[in-house]
Structure formats: structure tokens, C-alpha cells
Amino acid sequence: MYVSRFRTLMLVTTAIGIAGSAFADEPAPTPSTDYEEIIVYGSDKVGLIETTPRDSLFGIDKPLTETPRAATFISDQTLLRYGIEEVDDLMAIAPGSFTASYFGVKGSVNLRGTIAETYYRGFKRIENRGTYQTPLAAAESIEILRGPPTALFGAGKVGGFLNISPRSGRDANGQIKTRTTGNIEVTTGSYDKFNLGGNLTLPVEIGNIVGAVNIYAEYENSGSFYKGVHPEHKLLQMASDFDLNDTTTLAVGALIYNSSGYIQTPGWNRLTQDLVDTGTYITGRDTTIKDTNGDGRIAPNEIGSSLIAGYFGTKPNPNARFTLDEGVGTAKLDRRTVMVSDADFSETDTKTFYADLSKKIGDSTRLRVQGFYDQLKNQRFVSYGFPAWYEARIFELRGSADFALDLPAIGLESKHVVGMSYRDYNGFRKESFNSGYVALDRRDLTYGATATDIFADPFSMPSLGWDNDIKSTWNDIGAFLMSDMTFGGLVNVMLGARYDWYKLDSTDRGKSTGSSILTAATSGGDFTWNASVSLKTGTGLIPYFTYAKSSAIEGSQAGDVSPGLISNGQWLSDSDLIEGGVKFDLFNSTLVGALSAYRQNRTRLSTFDRVVGTTGKGVELEARWLVNDNISLTFAGNHQKTIIEGPDTAFTYISPEAMGIDGKYVYGGTYAVYNFATSPAGFPGSYELRSIPKTTFSLYGTYISEPMEWGQAGATIGVMHVSTTATRQANAVVFPSYELVNASAFVSFGQNQVTLNVNNLFDKHYFQPAVDTYVNLAALPGRGREFRLTYKRTF
């Protein structure tokens, strides 16, 4: 129904646009150029500096150097030269973007200590918390906004978001591309790396209508640093842009993505400080539990009672099913060996469509209608005992008008955007935690997966059923206003506000509800607003201050809202932000950046539908310097602290070290506390989230030669520093600080280009902490030295 509805929208939008051009009876006014032109005097060969103001974040043309919010612009050229392929790599260029391991799958980036949302052309996509790897190669640019989304984008939490602007049929100045261009590239590298991609732009003329179509396609079929992981994906992106007449534009596009092999892994289990410090792993297997029917996995009837035991402050008695009784000892663990099995899988399909019709009226007014559709299908199984099945669809329709209003009598120059939006969600989420039979430490990684540490799942045994089986629908009708006002050419005020009215309906038929079906429905609304003020000093320094208050839905991994959250009134949560700083644009726009400080309060949805409050505060510095025509430098750093607001009553797995027990008596099962705040393994009040480092920074330098008779060459080298991190329990395992050095070099000759990227140049050993439930039991060893060699041919 949603696809057909969106196709109808695209056809209607196209028809209206073409009709508008056909019936235009007089020449259109010359397009307005009422924004300040940005002139860059240095030679920006890496795409570090904005060349024109952008409206992709706020709907209003405004340079980031004058925008009173912490924001980062990343061009496709920067992605290429810095070797950025995954969201975790964004730490090389964006402050505060260190991301802990979401079971090894790079789905969403963390910003300011909390998971960020992902947008596509200004529309929020369905949640992706490690479901599939977010593709970046199809992007023309990426914008990162730290703080809540703008009123135009819809309701969202503070913390931040990533907005992907896809390749299109327009150039950097917004003009339709008039030449047929393209390229094809192939990449090979470490661990059977293979990627084939191609990009094609075709100009189009239909009568008086001019346009261009951009098509990007990519195929990946590779091995991995981690043994047993073989990622494969196929991607097709199409973007069509048309000038229907001098005042009317149309954009229509799609992104189709299919992946397999991006299986989730917690990394190393049986986590101890000795394992982190020396790589010494406790070996051994429990043989008490048998695979009696020989199907290659264990089911509840073969296990008996739960493999999870409660810890209440006293040392537990020995349990034969928890005790390792074969192959007990120690061994050095290879960093490439992580928890995977042949039974693990993850299959994902996403489909994304958009349409955008824009009409200019006079010199200063624009009407705009936009449509967006996003679909996610994912089935996965992680053999330690977590199967999941997600299907979700989002449809959003947005109408807006933007206009300028200048009042010279009082020295006011202003731009405004006003509009309404409708967003509709329909989806389901099925998950199982094997009803208490999950035991992450049962598997001996030195021995490999066995039938007695691969747990049964509803895919292979439908009679097991699902612990959570949630069907959820909701819609959101919103109205928004944004204003950008400058008084006397000196003081700038930006205001944004929106009101959202929600209607929700959710049903859970899973086993965790008992014999009954849990159903809940509700409706309600709330305001979101932000206010910023900045001062144009004329010195290249622009101090600013921002306050924002936001209200947003507590969605899960599939974007659904559980009936439990609706019943207890936690489906809508508030967050707020105080931020101040100074933007700088110095030396004829060759040194730009920002220094900012913030304090934010927000919530996050944790395991078992628990809403956890967090308070974060920090300082960030971002600087980009074009030293001369050949050399550029960038710095991105932050110092932060994120506090979990107590008391934290969560169910939490804990390690044997927290109980003072030798692991060989525990690893056949697992222990947990049912209230983290009252347990000696936890904290009675608020505590620091140590899986996010206090300090991170990156320093990168690039040299690119002048064009010569034979071609051009260049190189980039950078270092990223991450301070110590730790698990969550009181007797925490500490992961040491580290520095990673990445390098790349390229040479271009004629229509050919060869690029070499080397990540972790000095093969540094490091760890990424796990998240949520298993943070005390596992960590992902960082990838060692890897290289990629890419050949590209343009035409």
C-alpha cells in the first residue's frame, strides 16, 4: 500500500510540475542570489570548505560558519581522501563521534555519548542500531548536527543526527549538470576485499524541460578481519533533477539496498582484565548439557532450567551446568577470532524513495512539497541466543513555504520557513532472548562453535515462538516554523518551533507477556522549540548561544513503540540542550571551525523497553586550515562526560570478577542482577557511562601536488586518539587508551586514478566496548592493519 501510495505521489508531483511549466505565461523573475557568496582564497583540493551556503540542515541558505549550532560538513572528496567508509570512521573529521561496538555492525554513529539518528535528504530513516552497515559511498556530502534536529526535519532528541545528501544531477552551485560523465572503480585489499562501483550522470531534455539523472551502483563481496564474517551487499541509487521552467524544479530518486553476511558478534566473551592486558583467555567447555536430538543446537527441553542465575551479593553455590569440565586452561587469543558460527546470519533489504517539487514565486518566496518513503526488512540470528525479525515502513509528506521579509526601517533582514508534515509508521518487531537460556560465555572461542553453545531459534524451530512479537502503528501530524533574523547586520537570531500530534496503537503477542495479549493505544502531542543568538563581530569570530527543548517518540530498533511504553506513559520523552561557543572564519576563509561547550539531558531506550535518562556535558573543537595551495590540516576533538541518571534499576549481566568467582565455575551459564542500583556489582545512584571515552581527537594532514604534465598525486596521514574506556559494573574491566594512524595516497594520470588506503598503519591493539546488556561480558577487539587498493577510470 505504501509503495503504491508513494508512486502515486511521484506521478502527481511530476504532473503538477510539468503542467506548471506548460502554463507559465510570462518569463520568471531572475532567481534570487540574496545570500552572501563565500570566497575561498586557498586551493581546497580536499573539499574541506563550503563553497556556497546550504539549506540541507535548516531549510534556509546559511553558511555553517554563521550557523549558531555545532555542525560538521563532510564532502565526498573528504570522504575519499580520508578513507572514510563506515560511520565509525567519521571520528576522523567530526568531534564527539566515537562509537562503541553495536555487535560489530556499523549502523549508526554515536554523537555526544548517545546514539544518533540517520536522515536521508532531510528525512528520518527507520532506526538502524547495528541492523545493517549504513552505506556512505553513495553520498555527495554528509552533514552532522550535534543537538536536536531542526523544526523542519521533525521531532527528534538532542544528541545529534547524521544527514546523508545523495549524489544528484546538480553541481555544487545547484545547476543542472549538462555533460555526460561517469566513472567505474574496483577495490581490492586485505582479507579478500572486493568492491565494484560505478557512477553515471546523463543530461536530459524534454521540450523546454532540462534535467540530469545520476545513477550510482555498488557491489561488495568481501572477507573480513574477523574470521567467519563475509559481508556482501548490493546498492543502487538513482537521483533525477529537473528544471521544469525558470521557477519550478523537480527531484525524484530512490535507494535500493540489499545485504547479507553483516552478522552481529559481541567479539571476545569471557572478558577479564587479564584478557584485555595480555590476551590470555580462559578455555574450557561444559559437557553437562547435551544436544540429545542431534540437530546441531540446544533447545529449552534439552537445557532444563534457565542458564541465568541471580546474584544477590553472596558467592553462589557451584552449579554443574555452569562449570567447565573439559579442556580447562588458558590460551592466547588471536584478535581475528571472535564469537561467530556457521549458524549466524543477517539478511537485510531496504527501499527508499523521495520526490521534491519546488516553485519560486517572485524573488523571495518558494513553495515546496516533498514526499519520502523508507522500508526495512531484516532477519537475523546470533547463535549465542538472539534471533530477530524486523519489518517496518515509513511514509512522510511535507509541505512548506519559505520567504524573506526585510524591514529596513529597523535594520531587519530575515528568512522564514513555515509548513506542515504528516508521518505514518507501520511495522513489527519479533525478538527472542530464549526465555532465560542465553549464556554468552558458554562458547570456548579457541575450540569453536559446538552444538551445545548454539541455541535454538524460531526460524529453525517455529514452535519456540517469540519472546516479543510487537505490531505497532503510529502517525504524527506536525506544524513547524523557522526564522533566521539579522538585526543591523550584527545580531543574528534563529528560532525554530513545531508541534506534533501523535496517535499510536501497539500489540504484543510474544511469550514474555504470559498467556495474555498486551494491547495499548493512546494519542497526545507536545511542543519542540529552539532559540539561538549570535554576534557578527566583523573580526571573523562569531560567538553564539543556543537553547533547545525537544520531545520525541521512544522508538525501538525497528522504529516501533511497545505497548508497555504506551501503558506506562513513557512513549514520549523530553530532552534539552544548552550550548554556547564561537565560530571562526579567518585569513580569507582558509581557517574555519568552531569551539563549543554543551550540556544536554536526554533519554535512551535500553533493553527490555527501559527508558534511561542521561546527562552529558562536554567541550568540542573543530578546525580546518588550508595552509597553502597544496597542504591542508584538520583537527576534531572533544572532552565529555556522560552520566546515567540513577537509580538504574536495570537487569544487567555481570562477570565472574564482579562476584569474586573463578570464571571456570561460571562460564557454562551466566549471572545477572535484577536491579543494578541495589546490587554490590552496581551503583546506588547516578554513575558515569565509561563505555564512551572522556577524550578523543583526530589530527589529519594532506598534501596534493599541482597538476603536472603526467598527472597529479597526493597523500593524507592522520592520527586518532581515544582515551580509556571501561565496562559498566563497579569492578570494571578497563580498556587502555590508544592511537590509530591511518594513511592514504593517490596518483592520477589522464582518466585514471589509483588510491591506496592503509588503516591502523602500525597494527595497534585496541578494544571497542560493547553496549547495553552485554557490556560487562564482552568487547570487540579492534581491527588490525588493513589496506585497500582502488583503481578508478573516469569518462
In the chain the first and final C-alpha atoms are separated, in Å, by 41
- Closest of 143, 149, 132 to residue 166, by C-alpha: 143
Total domains, the chain: 1
E strand segments, 650-785? 652-654, 670-673, 687-688, 695-704, 712-722, 725-726, 734-735, 738-749, 752-759, 767-769, 779-781
CB 216 within 8 A of CB 199: yes
The CA distance from 477 to 482, in Å, is 17
Q: How far apart, in Å, are the Cα atoms of 775 and each of 33, 162, 461, 770?
A: 53, 25, 29, 5
Range of the domain at 768: 2-266+341-432+467-645+686-794
Query: Which amino acid, 323?
Result: T
The answer to whether residue 500 sits within a structural domain is yes
Helix-then-strand count for the chain, H and E:
6, 39
Torsion, Cα 134 135 136 138, to 10 degrees, reads -150
| Strands 117-120, 518-535: pairing kind | unpaired
Q: Confidence band (pLDDT; 50, 70, 90) for 20?
A: very low
Beta-bridge partner residues of 479: 420, 499
CA atoms within 13 A on the CB side of 702: 31
- Closest of 616, 519, 501 to residue 562, by C-alpha: 519
- Asked whether residue 511 carries a pLDDT value surpassing 90, the answer given is no
Burial (Cβ within 10 Å: 0-12, 13-18, ≥19) of residue 731:
middle
The answer to whether residue 316 sits within a structural domain is no
316 or 112: which leads in pLDDT: 112
pLDDT at residue 21, as a whole number: 39
The CA distance from 42 to 424, in Å, is 47
Query: Which amino acid, 605?
Result: L
pLDDT at residue 435, as a whole number: 65
The CA distance from 581 to 69, in Å, is 9
The CA distance from 137 to 84, in Å, is 9
The answer to whether residue 81 sits within a structural domain is yes
The 3-state DSSP composition of the chain as helix, strand, coil percent (nearest 5) reads: 10, 50, 40
Beta-bridge partner residues of 424: 395, 475
CB 183 within 8 A of CB 794: yes
Domain CATH number, residue 488: 2.40.170.20
Element (H, E) at 549: strand 541-553
Q: What is the pLDDT of residues 361-382, one digit of tens each?
A: 998 999 999 999 999 999 999 9
The CA distance from 151 to 141, in Å, is 21
Q: What is the pLDDT of residues 557-587, one digit of tens each?
A: 889 999 989 998 889 988 999 999 999 999 9
- Asked whether residue 2 carries a pLDDT value surpassing 70, the answer given is no
Quote the distance between the C-alpha of residue 300 and its chain's center: 36
pLDDT at residue 585, as a whole number: 95
pLDDT at residue 39, as a whole number: 37
Burial (Cβ within 10 Å: 0-12, 13-18, ≥19) of residue 165:
buried
763 φ/ψ sector (left φ>0, alpha ψ -120 to 50, else beta): left
The answer to whether residue 379 sits within a structural domain is yes
The answer to whether residue 90 sits within a structural domain is yes
- Asked whether residue 40 carries a pLDDT value surpassing 50, the answer given is no
Going 556 to 560 to 563 to 567, the CA torsion angle's sign is: positive
The CA distance from 438 to 402, in Å, is 54
Q: Confidence band (pLDDT; 50, 70, 90) for 703?
A: very high
Peptide bond into 647 cis (omega under 30): yes
Angle at 248 between CA 245 and CA 254, to 5 degrees: 115
| Strands 631-644, 161-166: pairing kind | unpaired
Going 114 to 118 to 124 to 130, the CA torsion angle's sign is: negative
Quote the distance between the C-alpha of residue 585 and its chain's center: 29
224 or 320: which leads in pLDDT: 224
The CA distance from 56 to 50, in Å, is 12
Q: Given the C-alpha cell 556535558, which residue does it identify?
A: 617
The answer to whether residue 288 sits within a structural domain is no
Chain length of the chain:
795
Element (H, E) at 13: helix 2-22
Q: What is the pLDDT of residues 762-774, one digit of tens each?
A: 999 999 998 878 8
Contacts of 236 (CB under 8 A, 6+ apart): 215, 216, 217, 254, 255, 256
pLDDT at residue 268, as a whole number: 97
Query: Which amino acid, 347?
Result: E
pLDDT at residue 61, as a whole number: 85
Beta-bridge partner residues of 436: none
The CA distance from 142 to 16, in Å, is 31
Beta-bridge partner residues of 75: 141
| Strands 670-673, 687-688: pairing kind | unpaired
Q: What is the pLDDT of residues 593-604, one digit of tens each?
A: 999 999 999 877
The answer to whether residue 271 sits within a structural domain is no
DSSP 259-321: EE-------B-S--HHHHHH-EEEEEE--SS--TT-SSSB-HHHH-S-SEEE--SSPPPP-TT
DSSP 425-484: EEEEEEE--GGGT--TTSS-TTT---TTTSB--TTT-GGG--SEEEEEEEEEEEEEEEEE
Q: What is the pLDDT of residues 236-281, one digit of tens each?
A: 999 999 999 999 999 999 999 999 999 999 999 999 999 999 999 9
pLDDT at residue 434, as a whole number: 65
pTM of the predicted model, to two decimals?
Answer: 0.91
Q: Confidence band (pLDDT; 50, 70, 90) for 607?
A: low
The answer to whether residue 308 sits within a structural domain is no
Cell of 348: 537485510
The CA distance from 596 to 622, in Å, is 9
Rg (CA), the chain: 27
Contacts of 730 (CB under 8 A, 6+ apart): 658, 680, 681, 682, 683
Q: 2-6, 148-152, 508-512, 703-707: lowest mean pLDDT where? A: 2-6
CB 399 within 8 A of CB 420: yes
E strand segments, 321-364? 326-332, 345-361
CB 364 within 8 A of CB 146: no
